[in-house]
């Protein structure tokens, strides 16, 4: 007991909430798509931005987004953050990169993790693609996309993604 003379300077006080999540129509469609290696968004009508993931309504106008639209699993990095702070529930080796990726065909950036890219090469406008889980691990879950990885294509000029950064 007293053979550990160092004072206690911090304590771990976890906050934990367990709950049953019901996805609803929009997210259910999106999650079922992921199990088939498809990324499905939704829009209110042709010409309007495709929301990915879909939430059921356009957040700008509150119009229902009933039209399902499949978007590409390739896109453009529009913002990123390098995570260096460890946490027990992070499955990636630190440091790693979180990205907002504007998928081709989507009107809203999508949040995921970037791998297989040195930290000093991450940049706005870089092209990336989804790295899907193996067939036997595909599920109605965001874990169907293991991460995004760089795509060997020229960067998208900043002016074209400015409104999403």
Partner 1 sequence: MNENSATGDSLSGLHVLEYPYRRSLGPVLSRFFTDLRDRKLTGIRDASGRVLVPPQEYDPETAETLHEFVSVGPGGEVVSYSWVAEPRSKQPFDHPFAYALIRLDGADTAMLHAVDAGEESRISVGSRVRPRWAAEPGGSILDLACFEVEEEG
Contacting positions for partner 1 (CB under 8 A): 1-2, 4, 7-25, 27-28, 31-32, 87-89, 139-141
- Closer by beta carbon to partner 1, 27 or else 98: 27
What CA–CA distance (Å, rounded) separates 2 from 5? Answer: 6
- Closer by beta carbon to partner 1, 8 or else 47: 8
Contacts for 101 with CB less than 8 Å, ≥ 6 apart? 75, 76, 77, 78, 109, 110, 111, 112, 128, 148
Least gap, CB of 57 to partner 1 (angstroms): 16
Least gap, CB of 126 to partner 1 (angstroms): 31
Least gap, CB of 119 to partner 1 (angstroms): 25
- Closer by beta carbon to partner 1, 40 or else 114: 40
- Closer by beta carbon to partner 1, 2 or else 163: 2
Contacts for 142 with CB less than 8 Å, ≥ 6 apart? 31, 34, 112
Q: DSSP characters for 48-81?
A: SPPBSS--SB-TTT--B--EEEEE-SEEEEEEEE
Buried b (16+ CB within 10 A) or exposed e, 5-20: eeeeeeeeeeeeeeee
Least gap, CB of 43 to partner 1 (angstroms): 21
């Amino acid at each position: 007991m007293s053979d550990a003379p160092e004072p206690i300077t911090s304590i771990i006080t976890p906050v934990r909430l367990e709950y049953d999540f019901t996805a609803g129509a929009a997210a259910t469609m999106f999650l079922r798509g992921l199990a088939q290696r498809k990324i499905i968004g939704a829009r209110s009508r042709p010409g309007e931005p495709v929301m990915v993931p879909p939430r059921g309504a356009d957040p700008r106008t509150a119009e229902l987004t009933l039209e399902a639209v499949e978007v590409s699993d390739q896109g453009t990095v529009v913002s990123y953050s390098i995570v260096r702070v460890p946490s027990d529930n992070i499955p990636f080796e630190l440091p790693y990169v979180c990205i907002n990726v504007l998928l081709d065909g989507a009107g809203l950036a999508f949040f995921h993790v970037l791998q297989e890219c040195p930290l000093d090469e991450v940049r706005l406008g870089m092209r990336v693609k989804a790295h899907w889980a193996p067939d036997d691990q595909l599920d109605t879950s965001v874990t169907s996309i293991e991460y995004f990885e760089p795509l060997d294509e020229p960067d998208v000029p900043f002016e074209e993604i400015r409104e999403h950064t």
